[in-house]
Structure 1
Amino acid sequence: MKPNKTAKLVVALAATAALVSACAGDRGDDPSATSNGASVATADVASKSSDAKFGTLDSPCGDGDAKGATDQGVSDTEIKIGFGDDRGYVKSPGLNKEMSDAVNALISWCNDQGGINGRKVVGTDYDAAMTQANSVMQEACASQFMLVGHGFAMDQTAEQTRVACNMVAVPGFTVSPDAANGPMTFQGVPFPVDYANGSQWFQMAEMHPDLLNDFDVVNSTMPTIITSTNKIRSIAQAAGFKLKDCGVTLNYEGESSYVPFAEKFKECGAKGIWTSRSASPAELNFVKSLDQVGIDPIFFGEATWYGESIASWNKDTGLLDNLNAGMTFQMLENADKVPAVKKYVDLVNEQGGKTALLGMQAASSFLLWATAADECGSDLTRQCMVNELSKIDDWDGGGLHAATDPGKNMPATCGLMTSLKGAEYSQAFPTTAGEFKCDPKYMVATDKSTWGTDLDADRISTKYQNANVIKPQS
C-alpha cells in the first residue's frame, strides 16, 4: 500500500514535453559491471517546486518519506536499477545506444524531482555487445533491484538466468519468444508471441488495395527472424493479402551478391517486399540489387526502418523513396504536435544523447516502471512491483505511443504508417500528422505454430518457469 507522503518536490519542467530526462547524470565505474563496460548514472536531487508532467502523464517522481532496505538494491536512500543496450557490438558500433541515452536522461529527470518517493534512482548502464547478454544478466542478478528500459538483441541467452534469479524486468524491447512472454516481464509496448498489432498490413491494404496479390516476404536464416517472418505471414493473410512465394531466403551474415535474389523477385512479379530484418548494411545492399535488376517495389518493414541512418543513406541514393514502415509510436517529426515527444527530444538533447524510436520505447518502459514504483512507496519489493505492473491496463507513455495493456502483455490496436522521400520522413497514413488510426481488427491472434515457445494458461512462457517465480497477488 502506498504510504502517506510529504508533498513531492518536482522540477520546473511543465512547459516542455520530452521523454528522456537530460539533467546530466554522473557516470563512473561500477565494480559489479566492469567486464561489460557498465557505468553508473546518478544525479543530484534538485530542489524545484512546480508541477512536472511527461506529456499527459503526471510525473511518478518526487520527494517523499519512503524508508527501508526492502529488497536487493533498495535502501532508505537509493533504488538500484540496471539498463543497457548492445552499443559495443563490433559489427555495428553504437547499436541501440539511444536506449541507454533515454534511460540515463529519465533517471536524471526523476532524481531532479526527488527520486521515487525520496529514494534516488541509481542506474547501472550495461553494454551487452550483442553476445554478452548472459554475462550482463549474471552481474545484474547480483546487485540490481530490477532491469528497466533495456534491450538486448540476444536476450534468449540471458532469459534462463533472469528467471532463475527472479529479476523482474520492464524492458524497452524483447526479441526471443521466451523473453517476450517471459515471467515477471512487463513492457511499455508489449510484443507477445500470441497476439500482434497488424495495423501496418491493414493500412497497407487500404493504401494499395490493388496490390493484395503482389507482395512477398524476404526469408532469413536467423532463427528469430524466421519466427518473426512466419508471424508476419499470418498477419498479412488476416489483412487480406495473398502473399507470393518467390523463394528468396537471405543469409543473415550476408551474401556475396544479392543480384540473383533480386532477379527472383523480378521474375516472380513482386510489387511489394516485406522484410523482418533491420536496415543493416547487408539489407541495404539487397535494396541496391533491386535497383540493379530494374525493379522498384514498395519496400515495407517494421518500425526499425524509421531512423536517421536510413534517411541519410537514402539522401545519397534515393533507393528507398518507396519505403513504408508501420509504427505504434509517434514520429519524432511530430514533436511540435505531441507534447510527450517534445519532452523526450528536449531532455535527451540536453544531455547530448541520441534520439530515436528505440529511445522512446526505453523511455516508455522507464515511466511505466517509475509509475508502479511510486505506488509501492516504502513497500518497494519485487513482489509489489509485479502486483502493481500487472494492474496497468491502459498505457501510452504520456502520449509517446498508441495505448497498450502492459499488465496483460497485449499490444495496441492502433498504428500509423511512415514514408521516406530523400532524407525526410513523413506520416503517410492516416494523413493527419500526429494521429493514429485504431481498429479492433488490428489485433491479430497469431498461429500457435509461429510462437516459438509454449505458453501456460496465463500466456506465460513455460520454458524456464520454476516454483519461485514471482506472480501477481491480489
Structure 2
Amino acid sequence: NEGGGEIPDLDQDEVQGLSADTIKLTTIADPGFQGSPGLNQEIFDAGAAFVAWCNAAGGVNGKQIELTLRDAKLTDYQPVLEQACDSDFAVVGDGAVQDNLWADVGIPCGLIDVAGFSVTTEKAGFAGDDPVETRQVQPVPNPSDEVAVGANIILSEQFPEAAARTGLIYADFQTLVRQYEKERAGFEAVGHVVIHTDVYNILGEDNWTPFAAAVRAADVQFLRLIGEPDNGAQLKQALSEIGYTPIVTLQETNFYDRNYIAAGADAVEGDYIRTVFWPFEEADQNPATQAYLDIIEAQGGKVATLGVQSTSAWLLFATLAKQCDLDNQLSRSCILEAAADVTEWTGGGLHAVTSPATNQGARCTIVLQIQEAEFVRWAPEIDGGDGGYACDPGYVTPIESDG
C-alpha cells in the first residue's frame, strides 16, 4: 500500500471502473453449467480469496478491489462478458470454455484480460503474441501452436509399448474438439501412435460401459480423456468394472483435483497427472503454495490447480496495476504495456517459469501419480531436475494451428 495514485486524464475506454480508491474487476467461470454443477468453482474461490486478502492488506497501491463474479454456465459467455464491458476495468483470473467470443465481444468493447486460463485459438492466441495487440495476457500461457509434452516424453520413456497404443476421448463441444486436435498433434509429434478415439456427450453419459468396451477392444494402453474430472472418473470406473486397465492413464492438469479421486475411488489408482504447478502436498517446502492454501482455507474455498492458476493471474494483475499506479498512469493500456515486459513469471513461486510477454508456457513439468488415494510426485525427484521440476526445451513442441 503506497497510498494510491491519481487516475490519469484519459478516455473512459482506458479508465472505466477506476476511482481514486477503488478498482472494479470481474472474473468469469462456468460453475453454473448444468452438465457439471460447480465446474471450475475454484476460479471464483481463488478470486474471492485473493481480493479479501489483498483488500485486507490495503488493496492495490491503496485502491480496494470491487469484484464481480460472472457465471458463464458454459454457454452464456457472451452475455456475461457484455455485462463486464459496461462496468469493469478488467477481467482477471478467469477461465471459460466459450472464450472464443473474446475476440468478438471483449476486444471491441475495450476490455483487457489477465486470464487464469484460455482455451480456444481465438483467446489463447499464438506463441509470440503481443499483449498490447491481443488485449489479454496469461500467467501460464497456452498458445494454440505449442503443446506441453514433457509428461508424455517422460512416461513414454518408461512405458514405450504404451505410447504405441494411444487412445484419446473427448466431448462433442467445439472447444473440446479443438483441444483434442491440439493434443493429438502434440502426442503424435513426440512419437505416440493414436489407435483409438471416441466422442462423449458434453452433458455427460448415462452409461460409460460402451466407451470402456471400445477402449478394451482397441487394446488402448496409453489413455487420455479430454474434458473435466467427473467424466474421466466415470470412464475409469467403467473400465474397472469390465476388468481393463491401460498401462498409462495420463490426465491434464485440471484433473489435479481431489474430486477426481473422490469420484473415481480405486478406479483412478495409478493414474498420472501433468502439472507445471508446485504440488499442494509439498506446500511445506514452497511458501507460495502454502500461502495459496492459507488464503483459500480462510475463505472456505475449493483447493485445485485451476485455482492456483487463477491466483497467479491475480498476482500478475496486482503487480502490473501497482507498477502503473505508482507512476500515476493506471490505465488499460499501461497494464498491457507493462505485461509485454514480463518475460519470466512464476506467480511468486506457484509454478514453473513462463513468459507472459511472449505468450509461451513453461518448458518444465512435474508428473504426479495417484497412490493410495493421494497425489504423489512421480517425476522428477524433489531434489532432482531443475528446482524440483523436469525441464527441457523439447518439453514443449510446436504444432500447426489453423487459427
2:340 is aligned with what amino acid?
A: S
2 CA distance for matches of 1:82 and 1:383?
18
- The aligned residue for residue 141 of structure 1 is 85
Shift in Å, 1:65: 4.0
- Which of 46, 49, 63 is matched with 1:102 structurally? 46
Q: Does 1:89 align with 2:33?
A: yes
In 2, Cα distance between equivalents of 1:219 and 1:125:
28
SS of 1:326's equivalent in the other structure is strand
* Preserved contact between residue 172 and residue 199 of structure 2 (Cα < 8 Å): yes
Kindly tell me the number of residue pairs found equivalent between the two proteins.
385
Q: In structure 2, do the counterparts of structure 1 residues 225 and 107 end up closer, same or farther at CA, with 3 Å as the change threshold?
A: same
Tell me, yes or no, if structure 1 residue 358 matches structure 2 residue 306: yes
Question: 1:287 and 2:236 equivalent?
Answer: yes
Counterpart for residue 438 of structure 1: 391
Aligned partners of 1:135, 1:411: CA distance in 2, in Å? 30
* Deviation for aligned residue 1:277: 1.6
Structure of higher CA gyration radius: 1
Give the alignment of 1:198-237 within 5 angstroms.
198-237=149-188
Query: Partner of 1:337 in structure 2?
Result: 285
Q: Does 1:112 align with 2:56?
A: yes
Q: Which runs of 5+ in 2 are unaligned?
A: 10-14, 126-132
State the one-letter code of the partner of 1:350: A
Distance 1:209-1:121 versus aligned 2 partners, 3 A rule = same
> Which runs of 5 or more structure 1 residues have no equivalent in the other structure?
1-61, 454-474
Q: CA deviation at 1:186?
A: 0.2
Aligned ranges 1:449-460 → 2 under 5 Å: 451=402, 453=403
For residue 268 of structure 1, the aligned residue among 201, 213, 218 is 218
Deviation at 1:137, TM superposition (A): 0.8
**What is the CA–CA distance in structure 1 between the aligned matches of 2:137 and 2:289, rounded to whole Å?**
22
Q: For the Cα contact (< 8 Å) 2:163–2:222, is it kept in 1?
A: no
Matches of 1:426 and 1:242 in 2, distance apart? Answer: 28
Q: Which residue of 1 aligns with 2:329?
A: 379
Q: Distance in 1 between matches of 2:203 and 2:296?
A: 33
Once residues 212 and 189 of structure 1 are traced to their aligned partners in structure 2, the CA distance between those partners, rounded to angstroms, is 27
Tell me the TM-score normalised to structure 2 length.
0.90
Residues 63, 115 of structure 1: 8 Å contact kept: no
**Aligned mate of 2:3, from 64, 67, 71:** 64
* Bigger share in helix: 2
> 1:461 matched to which residue of 2?
none
Cα distance, 1:257–1:93 mapped onto 2, change above 3 Å: closer
More deviation, 331-340/99-108: 99-108
Distance 2:352 2:179 in 1: 21
1:349 aligns to what? 297
User: What is residue 296 of structure 1 aligned with on the other side?
Assistant: 245
Q: CA deviation at 1:255?
A: 4.2
Whole-Å separation in 1 of the counterparts to 2:296 and 2:375: 20
Q: What is the SS of the residue equivalent to 2:17?
A: coil
Contact 1:314/1:423 (8 A) holds in 2: no
1:170 is aligned to 2:111: no
Q: Give the CA deviation at 1:87.
A: 2.1
Native 8 Å contact 1:100 1:125 kept in 2: yes
Q: Distance in 1 between matches of 2:197 and 2:338?
A: 47
Contact 2:25/2:88 (<8 A) preserved: yes
Whether contact under 8 Å (1:64, 1:116) holds in the other structure is: no
Contact 2:312–2:350 at 8 Å: present in 1 too? yes
Task: Tell me whether 76-85 or 400-409 shows the greater mean CA deviation.
Answer: 76-85
The aligned amino acid for 1:221 is D
Q: Report the residue type matching 1:82 in the other structure.
A: T
Whichever residue aligns with residue 83 of structure 2, its letter is E
Question: How far apart are 1:263 and its partner, in Å?
Answer: 2.5
Q: CA deviation at 1:431?
A: 2.6
- Paired with 2:28 and 2:81, the residues of 1 have a C-alpha distance of 11
Deviations 1:31-83 (A, max 9, x none): xxxxxxxxxxxxxxxxxxxxxxxxxxxxxxx2324112651111111111111
Whichever residue aligns with residue 290 of structure 1, its letter is: L
Is the CA contact 2:272–2:367 (under 8 Å) kept in the aligned structure 1? yes
Q: 1:359 to 1:256 in 2, by over 3 A?
A: closer
TM-score norm. by structure 1 comes to 0.77
* TM-aligned CA deviation for residue 254 of structure 1: 3.9
| 3-state SS of 1:160 partner | coil
Q: Does 1:326 align with 2:270?
A: no
Q: Give the Cα separation in 2 of the matches to 1:228 and 1:334.
A: 30
Deviation at residue 288 of structure 1 after TM alignment:
2.4
Q: Residue 140 of structure 1: SS of its match in structure 2?
A: helix
Amino acid at match of 1:410: Q
Letter in 1 for 2:243: G
Relative distance call for 1:210 and 1:225 in structure 2 (3 A) is same
Q: Deviations over 1:101-160 (max 9, x none)?
A: 212222222223322222222212222222222111111111111111112222224541
1:241 and 2:241 are equivalent in the alignment: no
Please tell me the root mean square deviation across aligned C-alpha atoms, in Å.
1.9
